[in-house]
Amino acid sequence: HRRVLELSGVPENEISYTVEPKFDGLAVELVFNNGVLSLGATRGDGVIGEDVTLNLRTIKSIPLRLMGDHIPALLEVRGEVIMNKGDFEKLNRKREQLGDPLFANPRNAAAGSVRQLDPRITTTRPLNLFAYGIGRVQGIELTEHWDGIHLLKSLGFRISQHVELCRSVDQVTAYHQKILELRNDLPYEIDGIVIKVNSFALQARLGELSRSPRWAVAWKFPA
């Protein structure tokens, strides 16, 4: 928060943060041209990832065509592919019966399922996607991350029911404690929260370091 204040020069009462659970899965990016899914890739090193379009098409929570009347000409969607804890346990029991090696955790199961060479195998895996961000967009003007998240929901994506808008550091701290207490009751694994400067203009002013943005940070939970 001090860094945001120092680098932006914006008064404290003008800064807000979007906060959400940090999903423990596989980060992917989806590209939609005129409302149709045309590409899906893993995040990789942040610049180059793997083309996993065919596998991502098998995940029911990923729309193959966007919903609504106002469809952007180009939309890049960022999200996390996860496997619920209960589904992970069922998958591992089935693999144990078949004599197959077990997955170490739901994150590895999700990542291994998305990166299968045969999409027919991915189809049999109980995967979900939560959308949490937008890259490039053409045809719709957005000024805040909060608005972008709710645009994604209106277009047919699943977003976290726990995403919130905070207008002070105290609210962010209280949110972190609330989600930490919820952690074990959630059906999927999380390992912290993600805090993002809400204003896109302020995000652009803050910029990015070589590997991470100055306008976002993960606040991890204890292991």
Q: Which residues are part of the catalytic machinery? A: 22
Give 143: exposed, middle or buried? Use CB within 10 Å, 0-12, 13-18, 19+: exposed
Q: Residue 188 in contact with residue 129, Cβ under 8 Å?
A: no
- Radius of gyration over alpha carbons of the chain, in Å? 18
Give one word for 149, left, alpha or beta, with left for phi > 0 and alpha for psi -120 to 50: alpha
Distance separating alpha carbons of residues 40 and 53, to the nearest angstrom: 4
Give 91: exposed, middle or buried? Use CB within 10 Å, 0-12, 13-18, 19+: buried
Q: Residue 130 in contact with residue 23, Cβ under 8 Å?
A: yes
